């Protein structure tokens, strides 16, 4: 049934196709259609239609995001006004209603993150909006997390379909598997938090609330890491499918070529160098000296070195695997050699500048942290933009480099935790 419906969707175009991309995610939680036809399939197929020119990419993303947000909002109000009566007349006769009430209390007090995370799971996406309404969660809280989750979900899955159009069936299966993985991860995180709560209650640790909050943040980072992995997979499939650049990449390259100006080309060369090892290695050495020699801390130095070396290993491996040619020499100013996908400069920039922002922001005021984060993002964008402007990479090469560098940065964050947090945990357990 799913394959037949998918084929019918792929035969549509124009506003009818956009209506389907909007309607299926909207009906997923509001009318429980998601139990039969997961909404991400329609959104991925919308991305496929956009790549084939049947509908525009921007309108597809807008339809998917609006459908997700509107559908969950309707599910919230259905649960708020009719959910309890529906529950008592159906499955409420078979389950312990005390557990349902506990779930409602949890959602009411701390359920904002559950709304966001639930958007990316197969079963919870259908149930959480209604349970949020039943629990009495303030609509402002629900809507904030609903909008955030719907926006990230819609953009990611449309782009997955757009960049992997000919492999949509494979992507469909991967998307379904990812939903199940997210559900399993959510269950494991819930169990881990429950066990941690019980253990700390026995030890009477005073910082339990902060510990649980930190773990929720890590749960969110883990989810975003998985989404980045899905996006990188779709970009890899796009690179394999379009070794000489697709229409999207070609259009951006020609726009760059037609808008080249002498002074801007020279500035782009300098910006491109900010993502090279010639610049990054001295910065890493200086920062490492600051922490190792002057502060006596080895973890930040190890984090920076791991960020750089790991990013080099990753992008080199994928370059050899995909082996995508660079843009034509006639359109290139730098005349770099070797495979183009992913951009090594973009990968290194995100990993190293991101790691620097993280380690130098520890213990500083929130305003300083924001400035450091913005500086790392701006530097990385300048590097990637310069590589495209100079014709050294296709645009999707740079985008894949950003995603790959972000994934590796998250891994480094996990493996090199904040020394202050480690010391605090030792003190609380001692």
Report, as residue numbers or ranges, the catalytic residues: 345, 393
Query: How far apart (Å, rounded) are the C-alpha atoms in residues 25 and 73?
Result: 12
- The whole-angstrom separation of Cα 158 and Cα 193 is 33
As a whole number of angstroms, the distance between CA 266 and CA 273 comes to 11
Q: How far apart are CA 140 and CA 135, in angstroms?
A: 14
CB 178 within 8 Å of CB 226: yes
CB atoms within 10 A of CB 49: 28
Distance of CA 386 to the CA centre of its chain: 24
Do 307 and 354 meet the contact criterion of CB atoms below 8 Å apart? yes
- The closest of 146, 181, 157 to 230, measured between CA atoms, is 157
Instruction: Indicate the burial class of 428 (C-beta count within 10 angstroms; 0-12, 13-18, 19 or more).
Output: middle
CA atoms of 304 and 371, how far apart (whole Å): 19
Distant-in-sequence, close-in-space partners of 74: CB < 8 Å, separation ≥ 6: 26, 29, 30, 129
Helix, strand, or coil (residue 418): coil
Residues in the chain: 430
d(CA 150, CA 155): 8
Contact present, 112 and 144 (Cβ < 8 Å): yes
Cα–Cα distance, 327 to 339 (Å, whole number)? 10
Peptide bond into 342 cis (omega under 30): yes
């Amino acid at each position: 049934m799913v394959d037949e419906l998918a084929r019918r969707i792929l035969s549509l175009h124009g506003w009818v196709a956009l209506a389907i991309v909007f309607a299926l995610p909207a009906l997923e939680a509001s009318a429980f259609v998601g139990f039969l036809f997961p909404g991400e399939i329609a959104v991925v197929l919308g991305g496929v239609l956009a790549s084939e020119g049947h509908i525009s990419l921007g309108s597809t993303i807008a339809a998917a995001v609006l459908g997700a947000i509107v559908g969950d909002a309707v599910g919230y109000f259905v649960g708020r006004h009719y959910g309890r009566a529906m529950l008592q007349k159906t499955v409420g006769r078979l389950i312990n209603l005390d557990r349902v009430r506990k779930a409602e209390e949890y959602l009411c007090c701390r359920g904002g993150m559950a709304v966001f995370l639930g958007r990316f799971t197969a079963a919870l996406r259908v149930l959480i909006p209604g349970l949020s309404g039943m629990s009495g969660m303030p609509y402002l809280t629900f809507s904030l997390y609903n909008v955030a989750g719907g926006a990230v979900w819609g953009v990611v899955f449309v782009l997955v379909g757009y960049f992997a159009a000919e492999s949509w069936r494979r992507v469909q299966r991967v998307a379904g598997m990812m939903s199940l993985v997210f559900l399993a991860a959510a269950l494991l995180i819930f169990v881990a938090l429950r066990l941690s709560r019980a253990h700390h209650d026995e030890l009477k640790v005073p910082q339990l609330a902060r510990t649980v909050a930190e773990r929720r943040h890590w749960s969110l980072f883990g989810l975003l890491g998985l989404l980045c992995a899905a996006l990188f997979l779709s970009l890899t499939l796009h690179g394999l499918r379009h070794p000489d650049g697709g229409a999207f990449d070609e259009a951006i390259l020609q726009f760059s070529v037609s808008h080249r100006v002498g002074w801007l080309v020279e500035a782009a060369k300098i910006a491109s160098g900010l993502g090279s090892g010639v610049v990054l290695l001295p910065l890493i050495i200086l920062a490492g000296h600051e922490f190792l020699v002057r502060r006596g801390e080895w973890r930040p130095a190890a984090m920076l070195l791991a960020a750089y070396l790991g990013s080099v290993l990753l992008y080199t491996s994928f370059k050899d695997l995909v082996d995508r040619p660079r843009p034509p020499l006639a359109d290139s100013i730098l005349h770099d050699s070797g495979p183009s996908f992913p951009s090594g400069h973009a990968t290194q920039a995100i990993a190293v500048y991101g790691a620097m922002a993280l380690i130098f922001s520890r213990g500083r005021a929130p305003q300083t942290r924001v400035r450091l984060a913005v500086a790392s993002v701006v530097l990385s964008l300048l590097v990637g933009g310069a590589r495209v402007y100079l014709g050294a990479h296709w645009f999707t090469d740079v985008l894949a480099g950003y995603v790959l560098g972000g994934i590796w940065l998250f891994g480094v964050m996990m493996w090199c935790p904040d020394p202050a947090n480690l010391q605090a945990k030792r003190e609380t357990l001692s």
